Structure 1
């Protein structure tokens, strides 16, 4: 009875460790975050600029809706429907032009190859003073409480020397809420080390269980043999 109980407890421990290993490699539903640039983007008049925004941890967002809007822009009072217009609206795996702000037509784009990695940065060409302000990147159907982020764009006269972020964040660049953090390579290394340690833990648990079971079997066998030896000894004495 005790052997069966120990066997059940050991199996439960191994199962628990395996489940912990599985869930440690799977991001929780609420852990996704839409992260924009924490610093204002400064551009010169007429520049092509990129408003950085991405989903962390990385996921493929090609099947989701991505909305870029100007939250401070008021609807046209002459529009009875007061419909929302977007700087850029990505829906059904393509740009939706029906509700695009006229001033941004043919001036905005997302990076198709970046969407598979959660990069929803917006490129705006030939910026004007009217483009200045707050921009919101928003993924309505993202399973998270952090579905949007605000990025500030400042436009200066052409004579001002500025550095514009014309490159999209690469897989090895360091990007997070504070503008730093671990690079993707370091994050992957950390995950691999964590998985390796969990595997060692599982193997160790299995070995301990096997060793414990074997000791129990040897002890049980020894107990069974002792009465037999005693009976043979009594018979010789008679």
Structure 2
């Protein structure tokens, strides 16, 4: 009885922890916008320093005193990450990631040290659907005699499971 009660408590803690961050999803090769905003962020008043990090270790994007700074950016994000300028004007520090990779999965942290903003977001990246070609023999209607031809089908992997 005691062991079951402890297991339930641990499970509840894990569920609670997993739901702390907003979760966003994308497909491998696609793009996603991760939002970060706070009422304390007013970009027009002063030139803020903004950092985006992936899993606490990878430098995704920096803005230092209002200027984009990519010198220390992790090479995996080169030409794939940007903070949307039109959103910055509204006090939103939205990060756009393009050409999503499976390695992009994880926790993204946006922090603005000048105003004490620390915002975490979870990113889930699904594998790109695999295209599959199948040849189906064409048969005569009624007699089921093979006509010596085949019909080429292009199916996405997600749909294959539904119809086969």
1:94 shift after superposition:
2.2
Structure-1 separation of matches of 2:85 and 2:68: 11
- State the SS of the aligned residue for 1:53: coil
Q: Deviations over 1:19-56 (max 9, x none)?
A: xxxxxxxxxxxxxxxxxx94311111101110111122
Aligned equivalent of 2:148: none
Please report the RMSD computed on the Cα atoms of aligned residues, expressed in angstroms: 2.3
Match of 1:70 in 2: 54
Q: Which has the higher contact order (CA 8 A, sep 6+)?
A: 1
**Distance verdict in 2 for CA 1:57–1:90, change over 3 Å:** closer
Structure 1 residue 91, shift from structure 2 partner: 1.3
Higher helix share: 1
2:108 matched to 1:132?
no
**Which has the greater radius of gyration?**
1
CA–CA distance in structure 2, aligned partners of residues 72 and 109 of structure 1: 18
* Aligned counterpart, 1:45: 28
Q: What is the number of residues matched between the two proteins? A: 111
Alpha-carbon spacing, 1:87–1:157, altered in 2? closer, same or farther (3 Å): same
Q: Secondary structure at the match of 1:56?
A: coil
TM-score by length of 1: 0.43
Unaligned runs of 5+ in 2: 1-19, 130-156, 159-164
Q: How do 1:213-228 and structure 2 match up within 5 A?
A: none
Question: 1 or 2, which has the higher strand percentage?
Answer: 2
Ranges in structure 1 where 5+ consecutive residues have no aligned partner? 1-36, 74-84, 162-238
1:154 aligns with 2:124: yes
